[in-house]
Structure 1
Amino acid sequence: MRILITGAHGLLGQKLALIYGQETEHEILLTDLAPQTFFRNPRFDYHQLDITRLGDVKSLLSQYQPDLIINTAAVTDVDGCEEDRLNAWRLNVDGVKNLLIPARRIPGCRLVQLSSDYVFDGTKPPYDEQSRPHPVSYYGKSKLAAENALLASAVDGLIVRTQVLYGTGFEVRMNFVAWVLSQLERGQPFRVVTDQKGNPTMADDLAFAILKLVERNCRGVYHVSGPESIDRFSFARKIAVIFEFDPALIGPTTSREIGQFANRPPDSTFITLKVESECDYHLSDVEQGLVRLRQQYKEGSAHTDLLKDSRFQ
């Protein structure tokens, strides 16, 4: 099988590359915006790609003829999407459509599209795959539009909704756990919201779940997240305890008090029975995931020898 992964330098993209490199013998093409990659393993080919450029996407897909595309490329800064809606739509929606145009001409080509809990308004949790989306932010609207584009296309599609993604990777965008740890390391008091709740998801688990879904030829929409729902304040305090910091440094606040630019769903708790039953796979709960993450930090094992670069030593 030929697999093309977009956004390969992001947190999930790195985890997918590692999982597919370790668990399969598939041919793997990684793509991202950078002209060069830090992946230094002969298992991987790399190609610079901006999915908002239709001509480039057509050219690469025509040449490579992938059997599977996993699209992790996206603008995920929720406030940034609200402030720059044109850029958010170009990447999150038009980029997906650009992948679909040549993909439909490749026999048997499948597309895995990553989506978000932000397609829901968070007022009627918990949410399963049949729940009616109602996004309250432009980011959520763009992710829902991308879902609809895939579902309306002739391409065989799998939509994976996830949330509160965390993990460690090379030069990846700050995630919630990394932000909390950076604040704790400063040793100064800080505040975290109590009125946003969801399912923290370890990126390693999500990557493996995607592999399992693909292996089973799953189609349609799946909610893939950790099984435990928790508010951000309580999650931050668990992070402090697991990593042996003082949880008293973390104080409570609300979304209104900190003045977040974009609206967020107050409670986007997922029901994940579908992926658990069909794939016989359960993602880590909060404590399990954080303990694993701490061990990765200790051992320096967040990257394996599939990333051959002195910067990881």
Structure 2
Amino acid sequence: MKKKILITGSNGLLGQKLVDLLLPNSNVELIATSRGENKLAALFPELNFVSLDVTNPAEVERVIAVYQPSHIIHTAAMTNVDECEINREACWKLNVDAVANLVKAATENKAHFIHLSTDFIFDGQSGPYDEEAAPNPISYYGESKLAAEELVKQSTEPWAIVRTVLVYGIVHDYGRSNIVLWVKNNLENQKPIKVVDDQFRSPTLAEDLAVGCWLIAEQDAEGIFNISSKEILTPYAMALQVADYFKLNTFYITRADAASFSQTAKRPARTGFIITKAEEQLNFRPRTFSEGIAVVANQL
């Protein structure tokens, strides 16, 4: 049966990858939404785009009622961890209040709600984590994302929570960087970089995350799913892999401790995910970080 999928945050990294994946799919009718104008208009002139501010309850109610999606994939969020710590009101509005608006509209219109969450709901004391692990956020961003999860779980219609880690990829028409581009650009310009070697993450290719979201929608899967890569690497180890792939000089990379950076928000030391559930139930098969670097290099 054809799925009618509405995406929030279609201008963002994951939103763009979902459009790229789902627009050519004949089993999907796609409605892309984002605040402001459509950044993908030149790439995909055939894309059905609607401007939507998810923090506006009336607007959310109206758009969902008009389009009647069978599935909503909610990717829009405030994800800058330090910005969330400083500007708490804006963070709560976008990460929690918006979810309340969408869950209400999804419930009223009997849509399957798929919500994007994060490894930052954990304190990083005992990673990698499975779906049953007890959350304990140590930043305001983490608190906001955990509060959103609790709202999703209260829905009387089908729901799924997608938890992910350190998403990277190439985004169209944006100044946004990622670990691969950041390392590559600095080393090419012979600029020294300090890279953390005492934090552990599962770097997730944006394309793989999009596939994970689609597998959930396609199979009408419910519950919590960890969607990330299987590897657990430090940013320093990632930087070395990037340098190796592009044949760049590692002389400019300095290993550093997280404590040597002055960051407003606390970061969990060791997260990373166990993805057995997604592998077994969804047949999710993520790429390794080295394969992900090749994907990014190809898009450059």
Q: TM-score, length-normalised on structure 2?
A: 0.95
Aligned to 1:78: 81
Aligned residues: 296
Q: Please give the alpha-carbon distance, in whole angstroms, between the structure 2 residues aligned to 1:184 and 1:206.
A: 28
User: Secondary structure at 1:104's aligned position in 2?
Assistant: helix
Aligned to 2:271: 268
Q: 2:19 aligns with which of 14, 17, 20?
A: 17
Mapping for residues 115-126 of structure 1, pairs under 5 Å: 115-126=117-128
Aligned to 1:227: 230
Give the alignment's Cα RMSD to 1 decimal: 1.3
Instruction: Report the residue type matching 1:19 in the other structure.
Output: L
Worse overlay, 175-184 or 80-89: 175-184
Instruction: Report the residue type matching 1:110 in the other structure.
Output: H
1:174, distance to aligned residue in structure 2 (A): 2.5
Q: 1:168 aligns with which of 151, 170, 175?
A: 170
Aligned to 2:246: 243
1:43, distance to aligned residue in structure 2 (A): 4.2
> Cα distance 1:75–1:141, how it changes in 2: closer, same or farther (>3 A)?
same
1:38, distance to aligned residue in structure 2 (A): 2.8
Q: 1:104 aligns with which of 100, 107, 110?
A: 107
Aligned to 1:144: 146
1:101, distance to aligned residue in structure 2 (A): 1.4
Instruction: Report the residue type matching 1:261 in the other structure.
Output: T
* C-alpha contact 1:112 1:158 (8 A) present in aligned 2: yes
Q: Please give the alpha-carbon distance, in whole angstroms, between the structure 2 residues aligned to 1:177 and 1:77.
A: 18
Aligned to 2:94: 91
Q: Please give the alpha-carbon distance, in whole angstroms, between the structure 2 residues aligned to 1:295 and 1:284.
A: 15
1:249, distance to aligned residue in structure 2 (A): 1.2
Query: What CA deviation, in whole Å up to 9, does each residue of 1:229-257 have, x standing for no partner?
Result: 00111111111111221122110112211
Aligned to 2:210: 207
Q: 2:299 aligns with which of 288, 293, 296?
A: 296
Q: Please give the alpha-carbon distance, in whole angstroms, between the structure 1 residues aligned to 2:119 and 2:26.
A: 29
* C-alpha contact 1:166 1:178 (8 A) present in aligned 2: no
* C-alpha contact 2:39 2:173 (8 A) present in aligned 1: no
Q: Please give the alpha-carbon distance, in whole angstroms, between the structure 1 residues aligned to 2:223 and 2:26.
A: 23
Task: Say yes or no: does 1:195 pair with 2:198.
Answer: yes
User: Secondary structure at 1:23's aligned position in 2?
Assistant: coil
User: What are the ranges of 5 or more consecutive residues in structure 1 without an aligned counterpart?
Assistant: 298-313
Aligned to 2:180: 177
Q: Please give the alpha-carbon distance, in whole angstroms, between the structure 1 residues aligned to 2:36 and 2:193.
A: 35
* C-alpha contact 1:75 1:92 (8 A) present in aligned 2: yes
* C-alpha contact 1:127 1:270 (8 A) present in aligned 2: yes
Worse overlay, 175-184 or 79-88: 175-184
Instruction: Report the residue type matching 2:143 in the other structure.
Output: K
Q: TM-score, length-normalised on structure 1?
A: 0.91
1:53, distance to aligned residue in structure 2 (A): 0.7
Task: Say yes or no: does 1:283 pair with 2:298.
Answer: no
Q: Please give the alpha-carbon distance, in whole angstroms, between the structure 2 residues aligned to 1:24 and 1:165.
A: 27
User: What are the ranges of 5 or more consecutive residues in structure 2 without an aligned counterpart?
Assistant: none
Task: Say yes or no: does 1:57 pair with 2:70.
Answer: no
Q: Please give the alpha-carbon distance, in whole angstroms, between the structure 2 residues aligned to 1:12 and 1:206.
A: 7
